[in-house]
Amino acid sequence: MLAESSGTNKPTKIFVDNLHSPYALFDEEYILPGSSIHSPDYDSALLYLQKISEFIPEAVFGCHVLPEPRPKRDVGKLSLVKEIIFDNIKYLYILKFDIAHLGGAKKEDILKNPSQYHNASVRTNRIYFSIRIVPVAEIYCEKGQIIDFNVLNYDPSIFQTSTEKLADSARRIVSEIFDEIDFTFANTKIREQLQITLENWAPGKVYEPAVIEFLTISLRFLILSQKELFRDFETFHEIIGFIFSGEKIPPEKSVENYLHWLRTFQAERTVSLSGNMLWRILKI
């Protein structure tokens, strides 16, 4: 079904809510099925993707559906992936949808109330999503479909002095006990290296465009069009390579292209109907 998805996206507006979660807002509504609280079941996923393919075919075309969430804590999300290659380097385009109703629907729009095992089914005009591109070491396929992958692991110590490495090791031991590693230091260094400042990136920390997550560097996007996204990414994809090579300065031309791309975004702050902060993201 995804392989045959075609056409252009329906008119949409992109927002980031007060929890820093991006969503697309459409003029038309669709039925969000009541999926299992444990993981999207086949029937719910199929119904959801059939409708999503009508709204944003440019984002889902040719993608494969991961049978299990990556990472495991992303239970309740539906992950679509697609391999892309630039300069013989493999990357994975990861498009995730949160198909659980996140609240705020009017009473008349709730078609089926939530239960102990299922999320509510609602009428909505929002699609909550996240898009990232990560470098991969290996992709596993079964019957022509991507079912799993290994990312290129990132070593956060490449930016640190000997003293900082010792301190960070102690912090990582503590954080690993709780199954979570704090990459605040590494993310700060990456922002510095790539010159991600409020002057260059209007949304600021509302939505970080480059971070360490899932033990690799992740470039995050707010563009629901593969063609446009891949065209832009090709011009600056080398910035990922410097992280793994340990170089202090990424390729100059790639950084220039990345900065130019960052500056094409604007953010307008507003409030939601419930009074929470909301940012509309515009690309010029």
What's the pLDDT at 104?
A: 63
d(CA 247, CA 231): 25
Query: Among 1-15, 51-65, 197-211, 241-255, where is mean pLDDT lowest?
Result: 241-255
Taking CA atoms, 275 is separated from 104, 178, 215, in Å, by 11, 34, 36
* Side chain identity at residue 206, one-letter code: V
How far is the C-alpha of 208 from the C-alpha of 284, rounded, in Å?
Answer: 19
- Residue 37 lies inside a defined structural domain of this protein: yes
Q: Is residue 44 part of a domain?
A: yes
32: pLDDT strictly greater than 70? yes
User: What is the mean pLDDT of the segment spanning 152-164?
Assistant: 62
Give me 158's structure tokens.
Answer: 């490449």
pLDDT, mean of residues 27-51: 85
Query: Which pLDDT score, from 0 to 100, does residue 110 have?
Result: 82
CB 96 within 8 A of CB 76: no
Beta pairing partners, 139:
149
Q: What is the pLDDT of residue 160?
A: 56
Task: Please say if the pLDDT value at position 11 is more than 70.
Answer: yes
The pLDDT tens digits of the residues spanning 60-76 come to 999 999 998 887 777 77
Q: Is 186 part of a structural domain of the chain?
A: yes
Residue 240 and residue 258: Cα distance in Å, rounded?
11
Question: Between 189 and 269, where is the model more confident?
Answer: 269
In a domain? residue 214:
yes
Any bridge partners for residue 39, and if so which? none
Indicate whether 272 belongs to any domain.
Answer: yes
Express as a percent the part of the chain with pLDDT over 70.
85
Predicted local confidence at residue 78, as pLDDT: 92
> How many domains does the structure of the chain reveal?
1
Is 258 part of any domain? Answer: yes
Q: Domain of residue 234: give its range.
A: 12-283
Per-residue confidence (pLDDT) for residue 175, from 0 to 100: 42
255 vs 157: CA distance, rounded Å: 22
Q: Considering the domain boundaries, does residue 224 fall inside one?
A: yes
Among the listed residues 100, 115, 126, the one whose alpha carbon sits nearest the alpha carbon of residue 41 = 100
Residue 259 has pLDDT above 50, yes or no: yes
Task: Report the alpha-carbon distance of residue 179 to residue 193 in Å, rounded.
Answer: 28
Average pLDDT of the residues in 90-94? 96
Would you say residue 172 lies in a domain?
A: yes
Mean predicted confidence (pLDDT) in 241-263: 80
